[in-house]
């Protein structure tokens, strides 16, 4: 069952690199909130195209707050193009690891995410607690 909205982010994917095997490596940077506290986000996603037009993506990210709290994220999901350029939708899961007492509950939470990007690589993401 989907629970509380725990993370909300928006940002840009400033670079995409095509690897020799056809996979792509995309960097992300942005900001938003984690458990209602402001945070910045940096991440990398490695995407593997599949024969049915779906892309399997996996990556790592770091959420940081102004107070120095850090949440490490492992993400896995699927995506598909929804228009021209880099316009796409993705769905998947987040796994969180943190030493922060403020965000400690995230160590036991699987997050379900929705990610939407436009033609230029601007994106928004919402992550809900899966309970």
Give dist(CA 61, CA 115) in Å, integer. 14
> Tokens standing for 54?
């779906």
Give dist(CA 39, CA 30) in Å, integer. 9
> Tokens standing for 111?
């997050």
Q: Specify the pLDDT at position 94.
A: 97
Give dist(CA 39, CA 9) in Å, integer. 9
Give dist(CA 40, CA 52) in Å, integer. 34
Element (H, E) at 110: strand 110-117
- Which domains, and CATH codes, for the chain? 2-130 (2.40.160.20)
Q: What is the pLDDT of residues 62-91, one digit of tens each?
A: 999 999 999 999 999 999 999 999 999 999
| DSSP SS3 for 5 | strand
**pLDDT at residue 51 tops 90:** no
Question: 35: pLDDT confidence band, cut at 50, 70 and 90?
Answer: very high
Q: What is the pLDDT of residues 88-127, one digit of tens each?
A: 999 999 999 999 999 999 999 999 999 999 999 999 999 9
């Amino acid at each position: 069952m989907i629970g509380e909205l725990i993370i909300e982010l928006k940002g840009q994917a400033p670079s995409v690199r095509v690897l020799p095997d056809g996979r792509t490596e995309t960097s992300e940077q942005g900001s938003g909130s984690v458990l209602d506290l402001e945070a910045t986000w940096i991440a990398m996603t490695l995407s593997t195209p599949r024969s049915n037009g779906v892309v399997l993506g996996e990556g790592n990210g770091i959420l940081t707050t102004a107070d120095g709290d850090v949440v490490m994220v492992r993400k896995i999901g699927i995506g598909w193009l929804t228009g021209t350029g880099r316009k796409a939708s993705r769905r998947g899961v987040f796994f969180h690891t943190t030493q922060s007492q403020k965000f400690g509950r995230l160590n036991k939470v699987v997050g379900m995410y929705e990610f939407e990007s436009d033609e230029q690589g601007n994106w928004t993401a919402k992550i809900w607690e899966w309970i």
